[in-house]
């Protein structure tokens, strides 16, 4: 069979000035290394001339392929659609803005094919971005390392390489493109490597992400941490939290009741249980406990009905 060596996926949103320069550069590297390849542009609802440029590039070079969204859907959607379309043995993702260098592709390719990595993430050790971005990024990477237990320095680097099987098994949605190594790890692709890559300042156009990237990023991290662990067994999460609430409220109830009985037997004048503030804490804990149980139960019901009950990836088979 005649599979391609490489699929190069490039999500883009209003990058018309960069596209032909980028394509020329990639083509040069591909020809020099004699790779068979496809470039898949995913036009994420650009409102400039990006699509026109892509049509021209395609008419000159049939290794250039493209998909266009009707409206802007975000980088994650772009990557995901590229992953669906990719057929090369090794899949590369890179940004369209010329910040990532195509010269890195051969090195990444060899790390997948020769060194047996599932995923190799670029590391922009020396970055050419404003401080307002590099400092929060350090924090973001430290938190992600801690929670995902993947030792990468630069999770969100746009330049990455994958074994085809990896991209066929992960789904990038929302803004989860920042955490693809974490998504891959949750699917059992644990051989994750890193390669220091050249980074350049943006040559044309402007960045498409504002400071809200960090807020959204941390929320997504929390989601992933919980989903990776409890996504297939939500009751274990909600049920445990609900039980904790119940146990606490039972203790408080025993204390209130016990105290009242003791005080009565000692002949003291005692106030009503409902006059004690602890009663209301108890009540709240009880209600929250029921709610948590209910949420866990609904989550289990949804899971039972969904076609994603079984989310495992098969690695090898014998005699089957």
Residues of this chain that bind ligand UDP (CB under 6 A) = 11-13, 15, 44, 72, 74-75, 78, 95-97, 99, 158, 207-209
State the DSSP string of the chain. Answer: ----SEEEEEEESS-TTTHHHHHHHHHHHHHHHT--EEEEEEE-S-SSSHHHHHHHHHHH-TTEEEEE-SS---HHHHHHHHHHH--SSEEEE--SSS-B-GGGHHHHHHHHHTS--SEEEEE-SS--S-HHHHHHHHHHHHHHHHHH----S-TT-S-EEEEHHHHHH----TTGGGGHHHHHHHTT---EEEEE--B----SS--S--THHHHHHHHHHHHHHHHHHHTT-HHHHHHHHHHHHHHHHHHHHHHHHHHHHHHHHTT-----GGGSHHHHHHHHHHHHHHHHHHHHHHHHHHHHHSTTS--------S--
Smaller CB separation from Mg ion, 22 or 285 = 22
Quote the least distance from Cβ 110 to Mg ion, whole Å: 25
Quote the least distance from Cβ 129 to Mg ion, whole Å: 8
Q: How many residues bind Mg ion (CB under 5 A)?
A: 3
Q: How far is CA 289 from CA 157, 227, 239, in A?
A: 41, 21, 9
74 binds, among Mg ion, ligand UDP, none (CB under 5 to 8 A by kind): ligand UDP
Quote the least distance from Cβ 53 to ligand UDP, whole Å: 13
37 binds, among Mg ion, ligand UDP, none (CB under 5 to 8 A by kind): none
Smaller CB separation from ligand UDP, 19 or 111 = 19
154 binds, among Mg ion, ligand UDP, none (CB under 5 to 8 A by kind): none
Quote the least distance from Cβ 211 to ligand UDP, whole Å: 11
Quote the least distance from Cβ 152 to ligand UDP, whole Å: 16
40 binds, among Mg ion, ligand UDP, none (CB under 5 to 8 A by kind): none
Quote the least distance from Cβ 205 to ligand UDP, whole Å: 8
Smaller CB separation from ligand UDP, 18 or 169 = 18
181 binds, among ligand UDP, Mg ion, none (CB under 5 to 8 A by kind): none
Quote the least distance from Cβ 143 to Mg ion, whole Å: 22
276 binds, among Mg ion, ligand UDP, none (CB under 5 to 8 A by kind): none
Print the binding letters for residues 89-108 with Mg ion: x by CB under 5 A, - otherwise: ------x-x-x---------
Quick check: 255 and 277 in contact, CB under 8 A? no
Smaller CB separation from ligand UDP, 156 or 186 = 156
289 binds, among ligand UDP, Mg ion, none (CB under 5 to 8 A by kind): none
Q: What angle do CA 28, 33, 39 make, to 5 degrees?
A: 55
Residues that bind Mg ion (CB under 5 A): 95, 97, 99
């Amino acid at each position: 069979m005649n599979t391609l060596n490489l699929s190069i996926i490039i999500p883009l949103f209003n990058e018309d000035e960069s596209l032909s320069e980028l394509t020329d550069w990639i083509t040069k590297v591909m020809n020099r290394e004699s790779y068979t390849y496809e470039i898949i542009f995913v036009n994420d609802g650009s409102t400039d001339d990006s699509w026109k440029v892509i049509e021209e590039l395609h008419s000159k070079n049939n290794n250039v392929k493209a998909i266009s969204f009707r409206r802007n859907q975000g980088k994650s959607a772009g990557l995901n659609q590229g992953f669906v379309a990719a057929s090369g043995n090794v899949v590369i993702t890179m940004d369209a803005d010329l910040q990532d260098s195509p010269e890195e592709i051969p090195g990444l390719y060899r790390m997948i094919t020769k060194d047996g990595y599932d995923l190799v993430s670029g590391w922009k050790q020396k970055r050419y971005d404003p401080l307002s971005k590099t400092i929060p990024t350090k924090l973001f990477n430290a938190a992600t390392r801690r929670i995902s237990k993947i030792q990468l320095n630069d999770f969100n680097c746009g330049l990455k390489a994958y074994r085809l099987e990896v991209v066929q098994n992960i789904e990038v949605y929302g803004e989860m493109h920042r955490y693809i190594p974490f998504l891959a790890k949750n699917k059992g692709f644990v051989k994750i490597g890193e390669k220091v890559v050249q980074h350049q300042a943006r040559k044309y156009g402007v960045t498409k992400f504002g400071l809200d990237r960090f807020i959204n990023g941390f929320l997504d991290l929390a989601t992933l941490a919980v989903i990776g662990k409890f996504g297939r067994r939500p009751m274990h999460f909600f049920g445990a939290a609900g039980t904790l609430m119940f146990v606490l409220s039972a203790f408080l109830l025993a204390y209130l009741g016990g105290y009242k009985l003791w005080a009565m037997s000692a002949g003291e004048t005692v106030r009503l249980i409902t006059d004690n503030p602890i009663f209301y804490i108890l009540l709240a804990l009880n209600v929250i406990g029921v709610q948590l149980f209910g949420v866990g139960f609904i989550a289990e019901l949804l899971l039972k009905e969904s076609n994603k009950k079984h989310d495992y990836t098969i690695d090898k088979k014998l005699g089957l």
